[in-house]
Amino acid sequence: MTIKKDLMAAAFASVIAVPAFAEEVNIGVPSWTGAQAIAYVLGEVVTSRIGGTVEYVPGNNATIFQAMDQGEGDIDVHPDVWLPNQESFTKQYVDEAGTVTLSSNPYQGNQGFCVSNDFAAEMNITDIADLGRPDVAAAMDSDGNGLGEMWIGAPGWASANVNEVKTRDYGLLDFIEPIRAEEAVKTARIKDSIAKGEGYAFYCYEPHAVWFMFDVTMLTEPTFDPEKYIMVQPSDDADWYENSMVATKDDLKQVQIAWSNSLEGRSPAIAEFFANFSLTAQDVSGLAYEISANGRDPAEVAAEWVAANSDRVDAMLGL
């Protein structure tokens, strides 16, 4: 009888020792460095401070939002949602479907087009319209096809779609070839063009490591005017390019994380942390610089940041 009671007590103890919720999360990792940096900061806090488990899942905006909408845990969080760039996704999944939550703690982002300081000084380039000068375009033509190359973003980026429309509506298509490629290709091309004294223009934004890596300048554009900024994304209209018109600088952006509403039922402590999570643009630029310029492991950089900012992390965790 005693043995039976002991066995029952041990079994009961083992049951109550198991937490009610296994705190785990799959973090989406888009291709740009700032998003990667934030993803690993989120993951580091989950593992080192909450005691949960993390998987990092590469994906573009559409893939991550669709997975969050499905709520099955394939991808639970998008670490770097730029608005209004990704507004087509937030309207669909946050506003209409109600399956995704958007953080209320954004940082501010600015975006435009950049050239190196040396190229700007050599060719007297200050404004986006200068890229339409024949002499400037010729200096940016590295493949001899008669058009200067300008990187407009990576495949799958909503901002790349905006920049493709801008290139047209700024009247640059007779002079400039808009290029889509992964961000690593752009970074390598900036470095190569500066080393060789060649011309090169590229989509740039703040926060970003590029401001620490190279001496570059953002070109002026016409002041933001909502009447001249009518952007339709491919997810909303197959004829998005024809039905869009963007002839003005982007407004300043609000950038935040978004997560699947199903996470609250599966991992409530992580969901609560996400609701309180916040970084500054300076935080993101510094993290991205360590990853991009210094070639460091994002996990190592994130762990270092969390250790150095324990008071801020405590506040995010409600401690």
Mapped to the 3 state alphabet, what secondary structure does 98-132 carry? CCEEECCCCEEEEEEEEEEHHHHHHHCCCEHHHHH
Contact 66, 49 (CB under 8 A): no
Q: What is the pLDDT of residue 293?
A: 84
Which tens digit of pLDDT belongs to each residue from 36-69? 999 999 999 999 999 999 999 999 999 999 999 9
Q: What is the pLDDT of residue 18?
A: 38
Helix axis angle, 298-308 to 33-45, nearest 10°: 60
Q: Which residue, among 224, 182, 219, has the nearest Cα to 204 in the 3D structure?
A: 219
> In angstroms, rounded to a whole number, what is the distance separating the alpha carbons of residues 289 and 206?
12
Q: What is the pLDDT of residue 22?
A: 78
Contact 242, 165 (CB under 8 A): no
Q: What is the pLDDT of residue 21?
A: 53
Burial 91-103 (b: 16+ CB within 10 A, else e): ebbbeeeebbbbb
Flag whether the pTM goes above 0.75: no
Q: What is the pLDDT of residue 14?
A: 39
Contact 259, 76 (CB under 8 A): yes
Contact 267, 25 (CB under 8 A): yes
- CA 63 distance to own-chain centroid: 14
Helix axis angle, 298-308 to 281-292, nearest 10°: 140
Q: How many CB atoms lie within 10 A of CB 171?
A: 13
Q: Which residue, among 240, 280, 253, has the nearest Cα to 112 in the 3D structure?
A: 253
Q: What is the pLDDT of residue 260?
A: 98
Q: What is the pLDDT of residue 156?
A: 87
* Sequential pLDDT tens for the chain (319 residues): 444 444 444 444 433 333 445 799 999 999 889 999 999 999 999 999 999 999 999 999 999 999 999 999 999 999 999 998 899 999 999 999 999 999 999 999 999 999 999 999 999 999 999 999 999 999 999 999 999 999 999 998 889 999 999 999 999 999 999 999 998 899 999 999 999 999 999 999 998 889 889 999 999 999 999 999 999 999 899 999 999 999 999 999 999 999 999 999 999 999 999 999 999 999 999 999 999 889 999 999 999 999 999 999 999 999 8
